[in-house]
Amino acid sequence: MKQLLIASTSTLHSGGYLEYILDALPLHFKNANEIIFIPFARPSGISHDDYTKKAAEAFKKINIKVKGLHEFDNPKEAIKNAKGIFTGGGNTFVLVKALYKFDIIETLKTAINSGTPYLGTSAGSNICGLTMCTTNDMPIVYPPSFKTLGLVPFNINPHYLDPDPTSKHMGETRETRIKEFHQFNTQPVVGLREGSWIEVKGASIQLKGALQARIFEYNNEPYEIETGTYLNELK
Amino acid sequence: MKQLLIASTSTLHSGGYLEYILDALPLHFKNANEIIFIPFARPSGISHDDYTKKAAEAFKKINIKVKGLHEFDNPKEAIKNAKGIFTGGGNTFVLVKALYKFDIIETLKTAINSGTPYLGTSAGSNICGLTMCTTNDMPIVYPPSFKTLGLVPFNINPHYLDPDPTSKHMGETRETRIKEFHQFNTQPVVGLREGSWIEVKGASIQLKGALQARIFEYNNEPYEIETGTYLNELK
């Protein structure tokens, strides 16, 4: 059974790395004493080793070992054999370019669709959608495609941010950007606020965390959903 | 002689379309009674016709006619014969995809390098840099390359925004994003605040408008420059 936690962010302003979601992880990774971390999104250009260390420190609190995917000679085999997979945030363009470079898009899809529990935060959540076209990241490298894993039948916008009515800045609000996305694309977009995550269990897709999420559908006005809402019909 | 105005934004919060920069345009386009407008960035998905109308209304105030590039059967010939060119803002990915689709990257470069006066705002300024890799826009479509016109030997970050020290949002600040860019790229980036523009006259490159700009160089700490500063050595 497919099992995913697709989280808006790794870290809340008031907390430590993965702290707000840590309680959900022992159950999610219940059959894993070791998981594989995909460090390729490299926030602030951090090295794969350093980023993996950071993830390992958080998972140590729940007695799960973490090994970086970059430590394996054969990343495809590593993913096939993984008991759990976590992809951290950073830059989605950098992440997706690396996934294509190591040719592991299909391997990841197959493993996760076959039941390997997956956790994504931020960029690691973006790639769960149909495309990475609703990332907030700067396009600092050129990936060979914007197509991502399609583990859910919509796109994710992590770190969703409500418009600031007092702002004098003329850059587009997040809502404007997603509406522009729908001038050229038809799949729904889930705007996940920091502190929210989506839990996928087989065919069930549910909003978790304390906050509402904002749903953008093609040719519809955006609307709010409460935590606990099922998104099984959103496609 | 190369003549460009590379503006951070078309519109300030307090003003109308092109209002803050309108005084500079009659001199810039002094030999043009008609210019060509490139409407391909389509802000909020506006049609080419409607966007061209908006540009035409602003230029009417200084007695310059505007014709949209989409109105010409042969866009290459239109650019070659243009007395002036203005590329408006919107989504840089949408704009760059269209420039490649119509195969006019080289035609634009040649015309502007040969002296056709050029005005860019926002996305239309992004494309003046070496690449579009420092755009703030959402990647809603996939262009065949991130390489742009290279009319200046650096990249532009329009709508440059200073970090908000009171923010609790965990998305990256603009400065963090540009520093990440420099983990993978070496060209300088000019962070142009709304109200600033760069004036290029032959080999002279000068910051204009009321504000400072922020310069990001590879392996250096970012620094501020005053308006009036020449950027001739920045590369």
Q: B35: which strand partners?
A: B66
Each residue's pLDDT tens digit, A177-204: 999 999 999 999 999 999 999 999 999 9
ipTM of the complex: 0.95
Q: Is B159 noted as a catalytic residue in this protein?
A: yes
pLDDT of residue B229: 98
For residue A186, give both structure tokens. 């038809």
pLDDT of residue B86: 98
pLDDT of residue A227: 98
3-state secondary structure of B192: coil
For residue B75, give both structure tokens. 């866009």
Backbone dihedral angles phi then psi of residue A80, each to the nearest 5 degrees: -60, -35
A99-108, A197-206, B170-179, B192-201: lowest mean pLDDT where?
B170-179
pLDDT of residue A161: 92
pLDDT of residue B118: 98
> Could you report how far apart the first and last alpha carbons of chain B are, in Å?
20
Nearest chain B residue to A93, by CA: B139
What integer is the mean pLDDT of B94-120? Answer: 98
Note whether B134 and B155 are within 8 A (CB): yes
Each residue's pLDDT tens digit, B6-64: 999 999 988 999 999 999 999 999 999 999 999 999 999 999 999 999 999 999 999 99
Residues 6 or more apart whose Cβ sits within 8 Å of residue A14 = B168
pLDDT of residue A164: 86
Residues of chain A with pLDDT under 50: none
pLDDT cut 70: percent of chain B above it: 100
- Specify burial of residue B71 (Cβ count, 10 A radius: 0-12, 13-18, 19+): middle
The full DSSP string for B92-111 is HHHHHHHHHHTT-HHHHHHH
Q: Give the distance from CA A99 to its chain's centroid.
A: 14
pLDDT of residue A137: 96
Q: How many CB pairs under 8 A join A and B?
A: 115
Distance CA A8, CA A196 (A): 6
CATH architecture of B3-225: 3-Layer(aba) Sandwich (3.40)
pLDDT of residue A165: 84
- Specify burial of residue B77 (Cβ count, 10 A radius: 0-12, 13-18, 19+): exposed
A interface mutation test: which of B138, B159, B173 has the most A CBs within 10 A? B138
pLDDT of residue A120: 97
Are A179 and B94 within 8 A, CB to CB?
no
Q: Is B122 noted as a catalytic residue in this protein?
A: yes
**Chain B contact present for A184, CB below 8 A:** yes
Q: Sign of torsion, CA B151 B75 B158 A180?
A: negative
Single-letter residue type at A135: T
Distance CA A141, CA B29 (A): 36
A87-96, B59-68, B141-150, B166-175: lowest mean pLDDT where?
B166-175
Contacts of B13 in chain A (CB under 8 A): 168-170
Select the residue of A9, A183, A185 nearest B170 (Cβ to Cβ).
Answer: A9
**Chain B contact present for A165, CB below 8 A:** no
Q: Catalytic residue positions of A? A: 122, 137, 159
Are B138 and A43 within 8 A, CB to CB?
no
**Chain B contact present for A218, CB below 8 A:** no
Helix B92-101, helix B105-113: angle, nearest 10: 100
Contacts of A45 in chain B (CB under 8 A): 179-180, 183-184
Distance CA A213, CA A224 (A): 6
Strand A223-225 with A213-216, pairing: antiparallel
Q: Which helix (H) or strand (E) holds B206?
A: strand B204-209
What integer is the mean pLDDT of B98-103? Answer: 98
pLDDT of residue B171: 83
Single-letter residue type at A66: V
Instruction: Enumerate the domain spans of chain A.
Output: 3-225
pLDDT of residue A171: 83
Are A159 and B136 within 8 A, CB to CB?
no
Q: CA triplet B7, B12, B15: central angle to 5 degrees?
A: 125
The full DSSP string for B41-63 is T-GGG--HHHHHHHHHHHHHTTT
